[in-house]
Structure 1
Amino acid sequence: MEELKRQHDGAELRAYLFRPEKPAPSAHGVIVYMDIHGIRPALFEICERMASFGHTVLLPDVYFRLGPYEPCTPAEAAANEALRAERRAMRAKTPVDLTASDTAVFVDLLTSNGVTGKIATVGYCMGGARAMRAAHAAPDRVALVASFHGGNLATDDPSSPHLHLDGVRARFYVGAADKDASYPPEQAALFIETLMKAGVETVHENFNGCPHGWVFHDNPRIHNAAGAERHFARLATQFSECLN
């Protein structure tokens, strides 16, 4: 893992680069959009696993405008209302609409580190919507979007990703959590219908028995190990089909 820093939007952007031990024949990359809890070891492990598929992975800290902060696991936040409120405030100060300008910098960081081919964007929780907006911001580079337990993907908010599909060329893969209040069935139906009408290739999968946040092992109450492995298997398949 290599830490990268760059000045952007009046602040120091921090990002982490993971290079594969056995690179794929073509130079493709992945941008991982974090969940609400921010940068922490569990995310590093996920990125290392993605890099093992043969692609260079970039994990940017989307909270970079707010300055340094202490790492926080979902389990710690669940047990501490003040910590939960702090993370909600950090998310509110980093709206999804910032994704357009941020993605240009993230793509440039990958390109300057040898990624000249297509890019996949992968998002968790709040990162799902950001991964989708990235496909709109960089349609010539982003070939795949993958969202896992992403929420608010089709709302009446002007920033909702289903309202930003013009020019998108990527495949959208959605791994939906079971009984997710942030992505209820009616929202999923609207999301799928909108993408179909827009001609966006879409794969939508319900992870039954896997609650919101199931991928992360640092929340033992929520984590579903089998579901997490299934999510990696889906990513491997989507990468192989779209990053070639």
Structure 2
Amino acid sequence: MPTVNATVPTEDGVCAVTLHTPAEHGSWPAVIVYPDAVGVRETFSAMADRLAGLGYAVLLPDVYYRAGEFAPFDIATVFGDPAERNRLFSLMQSLTTERVVRDANAFLEFLAGRPEVSGDRVGTTGYCMGGRISLIVAGNRPDRIAAAASFHGGFLAVADEPDSPHLLADRTAANVLVAGAENDDSFPPDQQERLEQALTAAGVRHSVEIYPAQHGFAVPDAPAFDAAASERHWTALADLYAKSLGT
């Protein structure tokens, strides 16, 4: 798929992004893809291409741009190496809610000025850490986010956590899709129930499902990648966007 390399000025610096579009000339509804904790890499570029092929202009941002250049992580070994795990967690913790929202505002402004983008209704999707970000952005920009998805996202409805995404339910206007992984300590049954109750009470159109797969099921280079669950996620994502954004 055609890909544009660009930079987006933010309040904190300059974020490198790629914009993936369908092969034919035109303009399409926009989608922002938030990667998992390991960050942007070839796997996510391929996923952005596949999403673009469904009829969307897909923005893939380097969410760790504040760190400058750093050695990429090896997803197969990062969690088993204490030093690498600590380095990764430090980057993850740098993405505060305030920073995530500031970045999203910049991304939305960038998309609004692109000829490849049609309309102002935008979708988000995210994986692992990115699933949490996807819901945070939807809750903070209800004027723009029409559809928000989270796949094997963690810490989506944490009790006594002031920045927990479930507390944004009454500010969310998007159609929401959450697909968790079974036996996932980052999104256990109590969080599943808490999120479901919050979205229902707020009148948010939503689906909260648990796939019979492990954390990381949708990302092809993840050790827990599950082909059947991944295809299920693509089908669900395509349906969400078709209903919420059109093509």
- TM-score past 0.5 threshold: yes
TM-score range, shorter-chain basis? over 0.9
Hey, what does 1:147 align to over in structure 2? 150
Instruction: Map 1:1-244; keep pairs closer than 5 Å.
Output: 1-22=3-24, 27-114=28-115, 115-117=117-119, 118-155=121-158, 156-208=160-212, 210-219=213-222, 221-244=223-246
Give the secondary structure class of the aligned counterpart of 1:166: helix
Question: Structure 2 regions of 5+ residues with no counterpart?
Answer: none
Give the secondary structure class of the aligned counterpart of 1:74: coil
Provide the C-alpha distance between the structure 1 equivalents of 2:170 and 2:190, rounded to a whole number of angstroms: 23
Provide the C-alpha distance between the structure 2 equivalents of 1:177 and 1:76, rounded to a whole number of angstroms: 21
Give the secondary structure class of the aligned counterpart of 1:143: strand
Count matched residues: 241
Identity %: 34
Shift of 1:79: 4.1
Provide the C-alpha distance between the structure 2 equivalents of 1:23 and 1:106, rounded to a whole number of angstroms: 22
Q: Deviations over 1:85-117 (max 9, x none)?
A: 111011111223322211111111211213242
Q: Deviations over 1:128-174 (max 9, x none)?
A: 11111111222122110000000000112111111123332101100
Shift of 1:38: 0.6
Pair 1:139–1:201, CA change in 2 (3 A):
same
- TM-score norm. by structure 1 comes to 0.93
Is the 8 Å Cα contact of residues 103 and 137 (structure 1) preserved in structure 2? Answer: no
Give the secondary structure class of the aligned counterpart of 1:15: strand
- TM-score norm. by structure 2 comes to 0.92
Q: Deviations over 1:166-216 (max 9, x none)?
A: 3321011001111110000011000000110011111111111x1001112
Provide the C-alpha distance between the structure 1 equivalents of 2:187 and 2:169, rounded to a whole number of angstroms: 19
Shift of 1:64: 1.1
